[in-house]
């Protein structure tokens, strides 16, 4: 069973909900354009994978998709967030034998500053917070986001747009809220996410258009690249102008990406 809640100022959730108490759940965030969810098939696949790997019952998509359509029909540009928890029940950490999932759906304004990011680019500081390695959760967008909270808190003193995040083996993983990829000698590479990090929907959609090599990436691999980009479902592809003190030519980065996209089209 599942219960769908549309988020509002009067919405209520049980104090016994496992998402609230244990972070026992997952979510996805998508962009809505003219009443349609962009890359919905990828977001749906993400929700299915999260449910399967975390031992949730299968999601009933027909009522969920009907509810989404009703809520976004009039939206020209908006953000859709879907949070799914295991609901109430269970003794302590142990999940209940039968779940009534809680699905919280929010339709939010599209961030105004995202419209200009492609033209302005972003600067990245190196985060002092490193990601723990946990292969069982690697790639999933779970509700356990305390690492990202710490990263964002540290970023307030770093004077950059976002933070580049490493794991405890000093491999580059992602930024605080986006995946990262780079171009070197007309080839694209991106960090492997088999031990930690999130497999972003937009990055996965790019794999249908571009030949991307996933591998272990060091900080020097990025600073020696010809161009570096970050991406997620809301901002799409944004050039990186600076990592620490190392700078990239913004116009050159955009040109390299445009040429590769044209080549693979």
44, 141, 199, 236: which one is catalytic? 141
> So what's the pLDDT on residue 88?
93
Residues 121 and 237 in one domain: yes
Residues 89 and 139 in one domain: no
Could you tell me the pLDDT band of residue 265, with boundaries at 50, 70 and 90? low
Mean pLDDT, rounded, for 150-168 = 97
Mean pLDDT, rounded, for 131-159 = 96
Pick the last residue of a domain from 110, 129, 150: 110
pLDDT digits (tens, 9 = 90+) for 71-85: 999 999 999 999 999
Residues 249 and 134 in one domain: yes
The predicted model scores a pTM of 0.93
Pick the last residue of a domain from 88, 110, 132: 110
Residue 58, pLDDT > 80, answer yes
Residues 91 and 153 in one domain: no
Pick the last residue of a domain from 60, 87, 110: 110
Give the mean pLDDT of the chain. 94
> So what's the pLDDT on residue 261?
84
Number of domain units in the chain: 2
28, 88, 102, 174: which one is catalytic? 174
Mean pLDDT, rounded, for 233-252 = 96
Catalytic residue flag (residue 174): yes
pLDDT digits (tens, 9 = 90+) for 99-109: 999 999 999 99
What is the percent of the chain with per-residue pLDDT over 90, rounded to a whole number? 86
> So what's the pLDDT on residue 1?
84
Pick the more confident residue, 227 or 2: 227
Q: Which residues contact 56 (CB under 8 A, 6 or more apart)?
A: 50, 84, 86, 99, 101
Residues 95 and 24 in one domain: yes
> So what's the pLDDT on residue 115?
83
29, 85, 102, 175: which one is catalytic? 29
Residues 18 and 141 in one domain: no
Mean pLDDT, rounded, for 92-114 = 92
pLDDT digits (tens, 9 = 90+) for 189-220: 999 999 999 999 999 999 998 999 999 999 99
Residues 152 and 96 in one domain: no
Catalytic residue flag (residue 141): yes
Mean pLDDT, rounded, for 212-236 = 97
Residues 96 and 129 in one domain: no
Mean pLDDT, rounded, for 74-97 = 93
Domain extent at residue 203: 116-264
> So what's the pLDDT on residue 264?
65
Number of Cβ within a 10 Å radius of residue 164: 23
> So what's the pLDDT on residue 80?
97
Q: Which CATH number does the domain housing residue 73 bear?
A: 3.30.470.10
Residues 139 and 77 in one domain: no
Residues 204 and 169 in one domain: yes
Considering only CA atoms, which of 158, 194, 189 is closest in space to residue 176?
A: 158
Q: Which residues contact 75 (CB under 8 A, 6 or more apart)?
A: 32, 34, 35, 107
Residues 244 and 129 in one domain: yes
Residues 175 and 226 in one domain: yes
Q: Which CATH number does the domain housing residue 230 bear?
A: 3.20.10.10
């Amino acid at each position: 069973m599942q219960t769908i809640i549309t988020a509002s100022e009067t919405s209520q959730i049980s104090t016994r909900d496992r998402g609230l108490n244990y972070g026992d759940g997952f979510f996805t965030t998508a962009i809505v354009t003219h009443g349609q969810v962009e890359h919905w098939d990828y977001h749906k696949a993400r929700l299915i994978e999260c449910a399967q790997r975390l031992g949730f019952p299968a999601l009933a998509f027909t009522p969920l998709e009907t509810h989404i359509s009703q809520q976004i029909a009039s939206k020209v540009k908006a953000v859709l967030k879907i949070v799914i928890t295991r609901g109430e029940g269970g003794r302590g950490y142990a999940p209940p034998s039968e779940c009534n999932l809680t699905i919280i759906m929010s339709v939010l304004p599209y961030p105004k500053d995202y419209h200009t990011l492609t033209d302005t680019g972003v600067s990245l500081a190196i985060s002092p917070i490193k990601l723990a390695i946990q292969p069982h959760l690697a790639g999933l967008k779970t509700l356990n986001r305390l690492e990202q909270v710490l990263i964002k808190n540290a970023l307030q003193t770093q004077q950059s747009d976002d933070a580049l995040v490493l794991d405890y083996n000093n491999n580059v993983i992602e930024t605080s809220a986006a995946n990262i990829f780079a171009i070197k000698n007309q080839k694209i590479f991106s960090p492997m996410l088999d031990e930690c990090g999130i497999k972003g929907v937009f990055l996965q959609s790019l794999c249908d258009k571009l030949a991307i090599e996933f591998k272990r990436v060091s900080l020097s691999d990025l600073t020696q690249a010809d161009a570096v980009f970050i991406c997620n479902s809301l901002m799409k592809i944004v050039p990186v102008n600076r990592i620490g003190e190392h700078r990239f030519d913004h116009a050159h980065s955009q040109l390299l990406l445009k040429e590769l996209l044209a080549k693979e089209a």
